[in-house]
Structure 1
Amino acid sequence: MKVEAASFAKVAEDYIKLLENEVERGERAAYHGKSVPAFIRRYLIAFFGDKDIDAISGRDIQAYLEWRKAYWLTGSGKDITEIRYERNGRSIRRPLAEKRMPTVSRQRGELVVLRQIFRQGVKWGYLNCGQVPEISLDRAKAPNNRPSFSPEEFQRLVSASLQRLSDADIHEHLRWDRTILHAQLMIAAYSGMRPTELKNLNWGDVLDYRLGRNKPLGQRDIKLRVHGKAKSRTFVAQEAALTWFDILWQFWTEQIGRESADSDPVFATRSGQRLGSTRNALSQLLKCCDLVADYRGVRRTLYSFRHFYISQQLAHGVDVFALARNTGTSSSMIDKFYGQVSNERMKDHLRPVWSEH
Structure 2
Amino acid sequence: MSRTIKQADPEPGGKITLQHGLVRSDNYFARFRLAGDSKWRLKSTGSANLAEAEARARDIYWEHRGIRRAGGVLDSVSFGVAAKAWLADFKETTRSKNAHADYTVTIERYLTPYFDGVLLKKIWEISEYDVHQYRKWRNGYWLTGPGSRLKQFKITLNGKTVVKNVPKSWIREPSANTIRNEDIPLKKVFEYARLRNWISQDQIPPIVSPPKEESTRTAFDPRSDHLDILLGCVDDRINDASISAPGKRAVAMSPTIRFQRKVFKVFMNILLMTGIRPGEETRPLKWRDLTHDFVHRNNASGNEQTIEFYLNIRTSKRKNGKESYRAVAVPTRLFVILNQWRDDPDNKFIGADDYILCNPDGTYVKSFNRQFCHLLDECGLTKDVCGIKYEPYSLRHTFATINLAAGVDPWVIAKSMGHADIEMLKRHYGQDSVKHHYEKLAAVFAINAPDRKRNGPDAKKG
Q: TM-score, normalised by structure 1?
A: 0.75
How far residue 189 of structure 1 moved from its aligned partner, in angstroms, is 0.3
From 237, 244, 258, give the equivalent of 2:330: 237
Structure 1 residues 309 and 119 mapped into 2: Cα distance closer, same or farther (>3 Å)? same
8 A Cα contact 1:164 1:178, kept in partner: yes
Match of 1:350 in 2: none
How far residue 221 of structure 1 moved from its aligned partner, in angstroms, is 3.5
Structure 1 residues 289 and 9 mapped into 2: Cα distance closer, same or farther (>3 Å)? same
8 A Cα contact 1:149 1:304, kept in partner: yes
Which blocks of at least 5 consecutive residues in structure 2 are unaligned? 1-71, 243-252, 294-305, 318-323, 441-462
CA deviations 1:133-191 (Å, max 9, x no partner) are 33343225512x22111231111111222222322113332222222222111111011
Match of 2:89 in 1: 18
Most deviating of 282-291 and 51-60: 51-60
For residues 218 and 202 of structure 2, the distance between their equivalents in structure 1, rounded to whole angstroms, comes to 42
Structure 1 residues 207 and 38 mapped into 2: Cα distance closer, same or farther (>3 Å)? same
2:81 counterpart letter in structure 1: K
For 2:312, what is the secondary structure of its paired residue?
Answer: strand
Give the count of matched residue pairs.
320
Match of 1:306 in 2: 396
Q: Aligned pair 1:205/2:289, yes or no?
A: yes
Structure 1 residues 133 and 125 mapped into 2: Cα distance closer, same or farther (>3 Å)? same
For 2:330, what is the secondary structure of its paired residue?
Answer: coil
Q: Aligned pair 1:334/2:425, yes or no?
A: yes
Mapping for residues 91-106 of structure 1, pairs under 5 Å: 91=160, 100=169
Match of 2:205 in 1: 133
How far residue 78 of structure 1 moved from its aligned partner, in angstroms, is 6.1
For 2:274, what is the secondary structure of its paired residue?
Answer: coil
Structure 1 residues 138 and 309 mapped into 2: Cα distance closer, same or farther (>3 Å)? same
How far residue 300 of structure 1 moved from its aligned partner, in angstroms, is 1.7
Mapping for residues 86-165 of structure 1, pairs under 5 Å: 86=158, 91=160, 100=169, 107-139=179-211, 141-143=213-215, 145-151=216-222, 152-165=225-238
How far residue 302 of structure 1 moved from its aligned partner, in angstroms, is 1.5
Structure 1 residues 17 and 140 mapped into 2: Cα distance closer, same or farther (>3 Å)? closer
For residues 182 and 314 of structure 2, the distance between their equivalents in structure 1, rounded to whole angstroms, comes to 22
Q: Aligned pair 1:187/2:270, yes or no?
A: yes
For residues 287 and 123 of structure 1, the distance between their equivalents in structure 2, rounded to whole angstroms, comes to 52
Q: Which of the pair is proportionally richer in helix?
A: 1
How far residue 10 of structure 1 moved from its aligned partner, in angstroms, is 1.9
Q: TM-score, normalised by structure 2?
A: 0.60
Match of 1:351 in 2: none
Match of 1:354 in 2: none
For 1:200, what is the secondary structure of its paired residue?
Answer: coil
For residues 265 and 308 of structure 1, the distance between their equivalents in structure 2, rounded to whole angstroms, comes to 25
CA deviations 1:110-154 (Å, max 9, x no partner) are 4323311221012213333344333343225512x2211123111
8 A Cα contact 2:290 2:309, kept in partner: yes
Percent identity of equivalent pairs: 20
Match of 1:44 in 2: 107
How far residue 65 of structure 1 moved from its aligned partner, in angstroms, is 4.9
Q: CA RMSD in A?
A: 3.6
For residues 204 and 382 of structure 2, the distance between their equivalents in structure 1, rounded to whole angstroms, comes to 42
2:98 counterpart letter in structure 1: S
8 A Cα contact 2:180 2:209, kept in partner: yes
2:427 counterpart letter in structure 1: K
How far residue 107 of structure 1 moved from its aligned partner, in angstroms, is 4.9
From 110, 122, 132, give the equivalent of 1:59: 132
For residues 85 and 260 of structure 1, the distance between their equivalents in structure 2, rounded to whole angstroms, comes to 33
8 A Cα contact 1:184 1:267, kept in partner: yes
For residues 207 and 115 of structure 1, the distance between their equivalents in structure 2, rounded to whole angstroms, comes to 43
8 A Cα contact 2:176 2:211, kept in partner: no
Which blocks of at least 5 consecutive residues in structure 1 are unaligned? 23-27, 210-218, 347-357
CA deviations 1:185-209 (Å, max 9, x no partner) are 1111011112222223232222239
8 A Cα contact 1:12 1:40, kept in partner: no
Q: Which one has the largest radius of gyration?
A: 2
For 1:234, what is the secondary structure of its paired residue?
Answer: strand
How far residue 223 of structure 1 moved from its aligned partner, in angstroms, is 0.8
Match of 2:350 in 1: 259
For residues 143 and 359 of structure 2, the distance between their equivalents in structure 1, rounded to whole angstroms, comes to 34
Match of 2:374 in 1: 284
Match of 1:224 in 2: 311
1:43 counterpart letter in structure 2: T
Structure 1 residues 183 and 104 mapped into 2: Cα distance closer, same or farther (>3 Å)? farther
Structure 1 residues 235 and 289 mapped into 2: Cα distance closer, same or farther (>3 Å)? same
2:226 counterpart letter in structure 1: E
Q: Which of the pair is proportionally richer in strand?
A: 2
Match of 1:294 in 2: 384
